[in-house]
Amino acid sequence: MKHVDSQKFTFSTARRTALKLAGASLAASSFWTPKAFAANQVFVRTPGGTYDDLKREAIYEPFRKETGIEVVPVAATASKMMAMLKSGQNELDVIDTGDNFLLELERGNYLLPINYDEFKYTKPADIDPVIKRKYQLGCFIYAMVMGFNTKAIPVGTEPKSWAEFWDLKKFPGRRTLPDMSSGMPSLEFALIADGVPINKLYPMDLDRAFKSLSRIRSAIPKFWDTGALSATMLAENEVSMGALWSSRAAAVMDQGAPLGIQWNQNMLLVQAYGIPVGAKNLANAKKFIDYSSSAESQARWMAKYKVIPVNTKAYGATSRDLIDPATKTPWTSSKGFLLDINWWADNREKVGQYWSKWIIS
């Protein structure tokens, strides 16, 4: 795994555009309404919360008006999705989640291939080939970053590295990190805090990572399992700092929440779409992914959700650049690394076993 300087990090998109802003039944989100049970619908797993609020405006409603298909967002953690698929009781048509988890589903034969030849709204050639895969299609690029409550920690005085985040004497206060049920705990940050260079993270030393996590466990009142919870805990000052998704942080910051982001040592991630085996509304699922990936749809979405688009034409899709220029700056001035999804697909079960023992110890 090579060190990635965000000034140099590129998918092929960035080479052309420069780096611009990256059995279980499910509890439905707030959009699960009687109206959503129309004959023409598509059930989409989402992270829930603000994510759906913004995507309804940018994607779901325009899609409904264009196609007559109602989007029914269904919020579920990675663990719930896996349990549901393994039980054979699939309720979803599209899975909107991290590419690392989709790779695991692909390896388990839980996903259908995506037929790009059927696309009507999106030109497949406009999608970055790095994330245009047989069983999944990236929908945006974002990062796991260090967030902090600016009322508790004034901007400029926050930890500047994960080693400082781990320093309870220099930076006392409550923290939060992702739970295993979120998809993956912050083992990379634990290792960085313990002195492992970011270009030497993989393969990860699990014993060392969990030993490092133990050093700050007393300062973590709760590990978060959803992006919505991570942002809420920070915004309401239940914790003063924590690791969370940059997109989540930006969304609540736009709503006036007192949050700040430290971009140093961020972990770049890819959100993607996949179609689960057994999707009951398969044609609608294909159409939704196609529509959501178009330059116009991506431009609308990125105007609301501060991340990196994957359609190379997204920035020129409208008469003006809809995407806030402020979202581009952090990515070009900080050092980060790319999550190794193959390592996680190979080792997620093993990490889960470690986590189960560690969390109750």
DSSP string, 162-188: HHHHT-TTTS-S-EE-B-GGGT---HH
Structure confidence at residue 29 as a pLDDT band (50, 70, 90): very low
Three-state secondary structure call for residue 61? helix
User: Any idea which residue has 């402020």 for tokens?
Assistant: 326
Provide mean pLDDT across the span 13-40.
Answer: 39
Q: Which residue, 221, 144, 220, is CA-closest to 188?
A: 144
State how far the Cα of 90 lies from the Cα of 71, in Å rounded to an integer: 17
pTM of the complete model: 0.76
H/E stretch holding 245 reads: strand 241-245
Q: Which residue, 44, 15, 9, is CA-closest to 29?
A: 44
State how far the Cα of 128 lies from the Cα of 138, in Å rounded to an integer: 9
What's the pLDDT score for residue 231?
95
H/E stretch holding 231 reads: helix 227-235
- The reply to whether domains 10-141+271-322 and 142-268+335-359 share a CATH topology is yes
Provide mean pLDDT across the span 2-23.
Answer: 35
> Token digits for 299?
């431009």
Structure confidence at residue 315 as a pLDDT band (50, 70, 90): confident
State how far the Cα of 219 lies from the Cα of 232, in Å rounded to an integer: 18
Provide the pairing of β-strand 70-75 with 41-46. parallel
Q: Each residue of 71-97: b (16+ CB within 10 Å) or e?
A: bbbbbbbbbbbbbbbeeeebbbbbbbb
Provide mean pLDDT across the span 345-353.
Answer: 93
What's the pLDDT score for residue 323?
44
Q: Which residue has the higher pLDDT, 25 or 213?
A: 213
Could you report the per-residue pLDDT of 162-177, keeping only the tens digit for each?
A: 999 999 999 999 999 9
Structure confidence at residue 74 as a pLDDT band (50, 70, 90): very high
Could you report the per-residue pLDDT of 75-128, keeping only the tens digit for each?
A: 888 888 888 898 988 889 999 999 999 999 999 999 999 999 999 999 999 998
Provide mean pLDDT across the span 348-355.
Answer: 95
- Orientation angle between helical segments 78-87 and 99-107, nearest 10 degrees: 20
Provide mean pLDDT across the span 257-275.
Answer: 94
- Written out in words, the top-level CATH class of the domain with range 142-268+335-359 is alpha beta
Q: Which residue has the higher pLDDT, 331 or 32?
A: 331
Say how many residues make up the chain: 361
* Domain range summary for the chain, segments of one domain joined by +: 10-141+271-322, 142-268+335-359
Q: Could you tell me the CA-to-CA distances from 10 to 7, 128, 299, 321, 331 in Å, in that order?
A: 8, 10, 19, 21, 11
Residues of the chain above pLDDT 70, percent: 84
User: Any idea which residue has 């007192």 for tokens?
Assistant: 258
The overall average pLDDT reported for the chain is: 85
- Are residues 44 and 71 in contact, defined by beta-carbon separation less than 8 angstroms? yes
Q: Each residue of 173-197: b (16+ CB within 10 Å) or e?
A: ebbbbbbbbbbbbbbbbbbbbbebe
Provide mean pLDDT across the span 214-230.
Answer: 95
Region of 311 please: left (phi>0), alpha (psi -120 to 50) or beta.
beta
Q: Give the range with max mean pLDDT: 39-48, 237-246, 297-306, 309-318.
A: 237-246
Provide mean pLDDT across the span 309-332.
Answer: 58
Q: Residue 236: pLDDT above 60?
A: yes
CATH for 10-141+271-322 is: 3.40.190.10
